[in-house]
């Protein structure tokens, strides 16, 4: 067995170890807040090690197929959860963790053998574009989770509003930077900064959607629509990220 296949086998074993660890974390609950952060941090570090070893085995950034894509999106979501790990809202943490866990579990159904990057991915702009997209998606998922928790909250709701606003703001900033890198990648890969491609069109739609969400602050009567918009945004996110690959088809689809 060559080194690449050996490292990939280690990566797959670590993935299943993470699978068991996250599942136990989900089944046993989120523990007391003093233990919540270090336990999840340890799992995320192990998860990142899994992705790193996978990258070493293929000698490229490990985002070349659906297994790697869903795996990376899951860890981005868990990293955002780490930032808010001390948030006392169980519903918020449970919702955010459930989304990340769902994508992590979904990654298990895809082939985990060695998958090397095609020529169109072999550019720095791709490496900069895709991970940033996942982190902005995770921020928008966080906003959705806060909106869900807000509907169940009986007391002070300011914390949820702050998380929603942070998700909107930082998510849009990161996504805007990602789209710049994506345009540069498109020019290198296809000779154009913009294509009438499902993924690109839905990326524009979601950018305008969250830009609109930010501008709700300038209309006092519209501020109350931010929580439902955060939930609607998650549906648009799923269409942008998953729907364009499985339902419509796109030149950007992971294999």
16 and 140 fall within a common domain: no
Question: What are the tokens at 183?
Answer: 């345009």
Mean pLDDT of 160-174: 95
105 and 193 fall within a common domain: no
232 and 124 fall within a common domain: yes
95 and 217 fall within a common domain: no
Among 18, 93, 98, 88, residue whose Cα is nearest residue 54? 18
* Residue 115 · residue 255 · CB < 8 Å: yes
For the whole model, what pTM was predicted? 0.91
- What was the pLDDT predicted at 223? 84
* Residue 95 · residue 144 · CB < 8 Å: yes
- The pLDDT > 70 percentage for the chain reads 93
2 and 66 fall within a common domain: yes
128 and 72 fall within a common domain: no
99 and 62 fall within a common domain: yes
CA 174 centroid distance within chain: 12
220 and 163 fall within a common domain: yes
Where in 134-181 does DSSP place strands (E)? none
- 1 CB contacts (<8 Å, ≥6 apart)? 9
* Residue 163 · residue 84 · CB < 8 Å: yes
pLDDT per position as a tens digit, 31-42 = 556 677 888 899
22 and 132 fall within a common domain: no
pLDDT per position as a tens digit, 130-149 = 999 999 999 999 999 999 99
Domain range for 49 is 1-117
pLDDT at 244 over 90: no
Identify the sign of the CA torsion 24, 27, 32, 36. Answer: positive
């Amino acid at each position: 067995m060559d080194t690449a296949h050996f490292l990939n086998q280690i990566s797959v074993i670590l993935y299943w170890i993470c699978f068991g660890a996250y599942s136990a974390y989900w089944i046993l609950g989120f523990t007391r807040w003093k233990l919540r952060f270090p336990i999840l941090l340890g799992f995320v570090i192990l998860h990142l090690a899994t992705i790193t070893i996978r990258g070493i085995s293929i000698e490229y950034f490990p985002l070349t197929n659906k297994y790697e894509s869903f795996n990376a999106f899951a860890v981005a979501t868990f990293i955002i959860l780490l930032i808010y790990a001390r948030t006392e809202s169980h519903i918020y943490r449970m919702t955010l963790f459930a989304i990340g866990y769902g994508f992590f579990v979904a990654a298990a159904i895809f082939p985990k053998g060695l998958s090397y990057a095609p020529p169109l991915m072999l550019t720095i702009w791709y490496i900069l574009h895709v991970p940033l997209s996942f982190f902005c998606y995770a921020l928008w998922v966080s906003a959705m989770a806060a909106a869900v928790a807000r509907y169940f909250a009986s007391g002070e709701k300011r914390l949820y509003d702050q998380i929603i606003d942070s998700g909107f703001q930082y998510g849009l900033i990161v996504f805007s930077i990602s789209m710049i890198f994506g345009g540069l990648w498109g020019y290198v890969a296809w000779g154009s900064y913009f294509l009438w491609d499902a993924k690109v069109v839905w990326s524009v739609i979601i950018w305008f959607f969250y830009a609109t969400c930010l501008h709700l602050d300038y209309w006092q009567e519209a501020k109350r629509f931010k929580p439902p918009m955060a939930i609607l945004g998650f549906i648009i996110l799923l269409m942008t990220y998953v729907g364009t690959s499985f339902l419509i088809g796109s030149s950007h689809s992971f294999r």
